[in-house]
Chain A
Amino acid sequence: MSQILPPKPHQKKKRLRNWLIFIILGIIYVWAFKGIYERADWSVFDNLGEKFNRVIPKLFNPDWAETEKVWEYLVETVFIAYAGTLIAAILAVPFGFWAAKNMVKSPIWNTLGKWILILDRTFPELILAILFVITVGPGPFAGVLTIGLTAFGMLGKLYAEIIESIDMKVVEAMEANGANKMQILFYAIFPQVLPEFLSFALYRFEIDIRASTILGLVGAGGIGTLIVIAAANRNWEQLGLILLGIIIVVSLIDFVSTKIRKTFSIINESCLFLEQLFFIYIFFN
């Protein structure tokens, strides 16, 4: 009954290595915290309570008189996110196919598609926003273009991954019964990918709502414009209302979009057909 497991190899060596790593990490931590302690400007924390007292209570005491104005900008923010995500969701479809390994025969051509999407993702949102504010002028249009271009990079990559994960055997079956490329696209590929495409587009919309709230900081429209003005005027009551508005809108849209995305996983035929019509409509416009 009592069997002994064979001894693990290199036990001593391993233990020694682990201790060494532990000690080195410990030394780095001690050195780092010591440096922080010596060089930090501790005067920041003087009168901390007093400073907080000046701002925080006002934040919790929103200025309801501004509701209408804040609401107007919030709607603009949502619209920027919506229009931007729509542009990205459509633009990402052809690029997704281009960057999907199983759709493009030539590896060089395929890698080029992947690289374009990578290049797009390297641009930080605010930098793009500044560029668009300069080129098309300040306002929501610059914001829409920014969101559209940043979301496009991510959605394109996600779409490509979805396409790469489809069941190619269905494509094979369609080839075997004499279908042409277009028919294979609509009969074998779209039914497999469209629900996921829409689900990711909605998810990206959630992200874009948050992203578009800060675009106004550089003049690209939306609620950020109000934030900059309120903060500059030290109008903490108004800022409180703005934050409250953002929190409500963002959580509401997150909630609704999560609900919708859940229904996509049990999507039925008629819905799929509507999606196809939608995509056809977009293709021919």
Chain B
Amino acid sequence: MTINEGEFVVIVGLSGAGKSTFIRSINRMVTPTDGELYVEDENILNLKGKDLRRLRTKVGMIFQNYNLVNRSSVFKNTISGRLGHTGTFRSIFNLYPKEDKLKAYENLKRVNIEKYIYQRADQLSGGQQQRVSIARVLTQDPKLILADEPVASLDPPTSHQVMQYLKRINKEDNITTIVNLHFIDMAMEYADRIIGMRDGEVVFDGPVSEVSEKTLKKSIIVRFAKMI
């Protein structure tokens, strides 16, 4: 399977289908047992130490629980996206170059959260925290964004807002985006391409236009029906 540059791919499937494992293999948060995985023509399965960190600097990740440092400010959380680009000494003493600080602020503006810049992260609502984590990922200057169930803890309107931000960033910056979702309707609305997974296997892979009633039935809906 190949994921092309600039694509917005949504992976759908039930819990335990292997979506998270799939997505986490791409930045080696988990290591696949065999096979090959190329990111920008580099086989990443054997990367270690410094090379692995270089890969992770290129690949941004967004999590279901936002994973912000609660006690730190929104700004500090955002600038932590620069850690992979900044030396240890400079980052520990908060000596970021001015461009980096401005970049973090610009990205907070892009997700409309800049007025909370000096607030503590845990004072924000879930949707706001997820936007901060999008700003953090953007500050990282990634080539690829992985989002692991980014809206699973949010209410429907907030979920759509977060998805719209992801979609817009994908289009404007041409950043390849891979999102895990378990709502098929939301996947249909935002994706360029959908990958359906079941029991660790890819059971569907194609553009949204090809997702018909029939394929859906075959791959996902039948499973839902069986479970109910």
**A280: B residues at CB distance < 8 A:** 92-93
Which one of A177, A182, A273 lies within 8 Å of B136 (CB-CB)? A177
Q: Which residue of chain A lies nearest to B54 when distances are taken between CB atoms in the complex?
A: A178
A-B contact pairs, 16 of them (CB 8 A): A167-B67, A169-B65, A170-B68, A170-B69, A173-B61, A174-B83, A175-B29, A177-B57, A177-B61, A177-B80, A180-B53, A183-B83, A187-B80, A191-B71, A191-B72, A273-B94
- Complex CA gap A174/B67 in Å reads 9
Instruction: Tell me which residues from 166 to 221 in chain A have a Cβ below 8 Å from any Cβ of chain B.
Output: 167, 169-170, 172-180, 182-183, 186-188, 191-192, 195
Q: Which residue of chain B lies nearest to A184 when distances are taken between CB atoms in the complex?
A: B83
Number of interface residues of A (CB under 8 A): 27
**A276: B residues at CB distance < 8 A:** 92
Asked if A269 meets B76 with Cβ closer than 8 Å, knowing A170-B68, A180-B88, the reply is: yes
**B140: A residues at CB distance < 8 A:** 177-178
Instruction: Tell me which residues from 131 to 162 in chain B have a Cβ below 8 Å from any Cβ of chain A.
Output: 133, 136-137, 140
**B94: A residues at CB distance < 8 A:** 273
Which one of B61, B71, B81, B91 lies within 8 Å of A267 (CB-CB)? B71
- The answer to whether B120 has its CB under 8 Å from any CB of chain A is yes
Number of interface residues of B (CB under 8 A): 37
Q: Which residue of chain B lies nearest to A280 when distances are taken between CB atoms in the complex?
A: B92
A206 to chain B, nearest CB (A): 24
Which one of A173, A187, A195 lies within 8 Å of B63 (CB-CB)? A173
- The answer to whether B27 has its CB under 8 Å from any CB of chain A is yes
- Complex CA gap A273/B73 in Å reads 11
**B86: A residues at CB distance < 8 A:** 183
